[in-house]
A and B are shown apart, each in its own frame.
Chain A
Amino acid sequence: MDFMELLNFYLMPGIVLGCIYALGAIGVTLIFSILRYAHLAHGDLATLGAFLALAIVSGFGVSPLAALPVAMIGTAVIAVFIDKAFYNHLRERPKIVTVMASLGIALMIRAVIQVVWGVDSESYVRGIVRPENYWGLRIRDREIYTIAFMIAVVVALQLFLGRSKWGKAMRAMSDNPDLALLSGIDNRKVIILTWLIAGGLCASAGVFLGLNTELKSMMGWHMLLPMFAATILGGVGRVDGAVLGGLIVGVAEELSVLVLPSEYKTATAFVILLLMLLVRPTGLLRGKVL
């Protein structure tokens, strides 16, 4: 196999998949570090975002990319609602109780999707899209959009977290929640902001997964493990870590088929997760260990 073949058939799909995982993992890492629990409904929230976009695409006949912002806003608002209705009142209890509640929410979101949209595969656009050829690099438009969107999001988010007052407040909450309260930072607002960002990005992960593959009611649940593997690989609390982790997990999954039967692709994320917990639980970029 020559290099171009490796690039076109393994690395490129891996990077695209990695960008999708990264979009989800950013939300996971923010929630893990600021709200301090593992949000197990994150995958199914992504599925919900993907299907919301499908409803817009089929309802108004617009392109998936036009539906993306609406789906992101919708999912972000739903995420805030879920927090208010189900997680917020568990705040004073051990965090693991919220983890359990989120497993229940995962089931509830999925049930809603299965009732409304059924369990069959759907897609945004019918027909096969052939990749364009750029000097031997074969890449589809939707793959370019995925990568470009992820880069834009990360740049914007890093600027927000590094420069703006509320972005810094989010980092302060993640860094030292007690001191953030003593400094007069309104933690309720930080929590809402965190859910808006995580929910919106989560929806975008779902939409791009649907755009590059297909929509299924289980699509998000199957993304949960890679998203957490990416989060822990990069370092909990690190947005750049989530991106790095997402890309590594995505590429590793695609490359794994060279040595493993393709059924076990999803086992790659699990192996990465356990290996990191074993040798370097702080992750590549020195995040938190909760």
Chain B
Amino acid sequence: MELIGLLNYALFMAIFIGIYALLSLGLNIQWGGAGLFNAGIAGFFAVGAYTSAILTSPAADGRLGGYEMPFYVGWAGAMLAAALIAWPIGKICLRFRSDYLAIATIGIAEIIRLVIKSEEALTNSARGISSIERPFGDLPYVSSQAAFLGIVLFLVIAAYFLVQRQFNAPWGRMMRAIRDNELAARAMGKNIEYRRLEAFIFGSALMGLSGAVFAAFNRSITPEAIDPMVATFLVWIMLILGGSGNNKGAILGAVIVWVIWSVSEIATDQLPHEYAVKAKYVRLFLIGLMLQLVLRFRPEGLLPERTTGVTRPEDEKSQ
């Protein structure tokens, strides 16, 4: 009995790690590949979750959607929707230094949160959307979980190879060269803007996919399902700790950070309620501190980027 419980928990955790690995890989394209600062990861995640929910859930009164489409249509739709939101933001902000993108993505995530909370006709507001199509949802519990994990693993591996191929292509070499040298980037002008936009859109689409997988896994999505700031921040620490620019690092970071995060949650949940609530914030504080320490003492992460063939300018100071 105990063993089954443990197995179930391991499956559950592995699926979540997969969902975060997709986010982390998406961020790696943006930050690791192109030096773009996306502080609104949770926003693109939520767009994906709700888009797939609207496309795949059964019809309901007073709400858009309920098309009962197959899950893969929903997931593709999620990627498309996240990409469509990323496009204008990137178009406007990528002409400037990444600081502006950081602020704008905080803004778009906030707007998305507001829309989800208030647009009943679209998202069913606080009650959220349920009965979302879940692949292999009809199997018995453990096999269903295992099958779902299979799908998630397939997606993570597929995403890994896609991103990896892109990084090794001339695209990746060019992006790394300009990422570290703002002046060179500016000199190259329009072409670079377009490449950056590609990176931003492609990364955001992966984040949208991750949201769709999350919604399908839970079979439902509500505005409270994820804390935007916490989710965004966890993904950042995953990538930075794992090693930005390195796709294996992005996945490794997702594994380590998620295990620490969820195990510490289980541990603190044993505390009396009064302390358990505070413990959540202490954990947040420690995650924030962890980022500072990694930035200071191991900025390249656990698995550093392989920089063969790329000369990094000694003077990285960007003005």
Contacts and interface: CB of A to CB of B under 8 A. Distances in A.
Q: Do chains A and B touch in the complex (CB under 8 A)?
A: yes
Interface of A: 32, 36-38, 40, 86, 89-90, 92-97, 99-101, 103-105, 107-108, 110-112, 114-115, 177, 221, 224-225, 228, 232, 261, 263-264, 266-267, 269-270, 273-274, 277-278, 281, 289-290
24 contacts: A40-B39, A40-B102, A96-B102, A97-B299, A99-B98, A101-B292, A103-B39, A103-B102, A104-B288, A104-B295, A107-B285, A107-B288, A108-B289, A111-B281, A111-B284, A111-B288, A115-B281, A224-B106, A225-B103, A263-B118, A264-B118, A266-B114, A270-B108, A274-B104
A100 B108 contact: no
B285 A277 contact: no
B7 interface: no
B88 to A, nearest CB: 8
B316 A115 contact: no
A289 B99 CA distance: 11
A97 B295 contact: yes
Interface residues of B, number: 46
Nearest to A221: B229
Contacts of A90: 295-296
B233 A38 contact: no
Nearest to A275: B92
A104 B295 CA distance: 11
A285 to B, nearest CB: 18
B296 A89 contact: yes
A32 B107 CA distance: 18
B97 to A, nearest CB: 5
Contact of B92 (A103, A266, A277): A277
Nearest to B237: A104
A23 to B, nearest CB: 18
Contact of B99 (A96, A107, A266): A96
Nearest to A85: B292
A6 B218 CA distance: 48
A278 B99 contact: no
B147 interface: no
Contacts of B96: 277, 281, 289-290
B107 A269 contact: yes
A225 B118 contact: no
**Most chain-B CB neighbours within 10 Å: which of A37, A99, A232?**
A99
Interface string B265-307: 0000000000000100110110111011001100100000000
Contact of B111 (A94, A108, A261, A270): A270
Contact of A108 (B110, B240, B288, B318): B288
A97 B284 CA distance: 20
Nearest to A267: B111
The 8 closest A-B pairs by CB, nearest first: A108-B288, A111-B285, A38-B99, A270-B107, A104-B291, A107-B288, A114-B281, A111-B284
Contacts of A269: 107
B37 interface: yes
